[in-house]
Every structure is written in C-alpha cells, then in structure tokens.
Amino acid sequence: MARSAKAVPWFLFAAGGTVLSFILPVMIFTTGIAPALGLFTDALSYDTMSAFVGNWLVKLVLFGILTLACWHAAHRLRVCAHDFGIRADTAVAVILYGLATVGTATAALALVSI
C-alpha cells in the first residue's frame, strides 16, 4: 500500500463542512427563503447588494465560503457515489472535482467583475 493524496480533498471537505455548519442555515434563509416572505427587500436590492459585494472583504469571505462549499460537496458526493454502488471512482472524482473547479473559477470571476 502507499500513502494517498486523499488528504488534500479531505481537508477541503472538513474545512468546508465546518464553515457550512455555522453559516449555511442562515445563508439559505437569507437568500432563499426571506425574499419569498418579503423580508430583507432593501438588503437584497440591486444597489445595496452591488455596494455590499463590492467591498473587498466581503468578496474574500464569499469566495472562501463558496470555494469550500464546492469542494466539500464534491468530495462528499464522491463518497455518495461509492455508497450508491458506483465503482468508477476515478471518473467520478474527475467529474466532481472538475465541477468544483468550475464553480470556484466562476465565483472568482464573478466577484472580480462586481
């Protein structure tokens, strides 16, 4: 047997899981449920959001959360695939980590352009 490089995605998974456990419920409520309830309409207006996300610290925090969320989900879905009986682990890993890379890159580009 040989030492495995799985340490790298695992750290991203674990860090992501930790950050998400604190922030995810309130984030989903704020951006996904509150608008339908008519809450936070000012905060979610175009002007306020542009100014808010325009702040470099906010950009950095959002980039951190979204990157970790992408890699957390990708790694856990890889395990899920195995648990559901899919044994093509290499192909699954390439697809999921590839999607996480696309997500990370898109988030970075979007944040830079705001």
Partner 1 sequence: MSERTIELEVLRYRPEQDQEPFFQTYKVPCEEEWVVLDALNYVKEEMDRTLSYRWSCHMFVCGSCGMMIDGEPKLACKAFLKDYPTGKIRVEPLSNFPIERDLVVVLDDFVEKLESVKPYIIPKEERTVEQGEYLQTPAQLKAFKQYTLCINCLCCYAVCPQYGLDESFVGPAALALAHRYNMDSRDLGRAARDDVVAAAEGIWHCSFVGACSQVCPKDVDPAGAIQQAKFAHGIDYLTSFLPGGKR
Partner 2 sequence: MNPRKPYVRPISKTSWFMTQSRYKVYMLHEISSLFVAIYSAILIIGLVRLGEGEAAWQGWLDAVTSPIGVIFHLIAFVFALIHTTSWFKAVPQAMRIQRGEEIVPGKLIVGAHYGVLAAVSLFVLILAGVA
Residues that bind partner 1 (CB under 8 A): 1-8, 10-11, 14, 79, 82-83
The CB-of-27 to partner 1 minimum distance in angstroms stands at 24
Q: Which lies closer to partner 2 via its Cβ, residue 8 or residue 10?
A: 10
36 binds, among partner 1, partner 2, none (CB under 5 to 8 A by kind): partner 2
111 binds, among partner 2, partner 1, none (CB under 5 to 8 A by kind): partner 2
CB under 8 A, 24+ apart: contacts of 11-19:
12/68, 12/71, 12/72, 12/75, 13/71, 13/72, 13/75, 13/76, 15/68, 15/72, 16/68, 16/69, 16/70, 16/71, 16/72, 16/73, 17/72, 17/76, 19/64, 19/65, 19/68, 19/69
Q: Which lies closer to partner 1 via its Cβ, residue 6 or residue 49?
A: 6
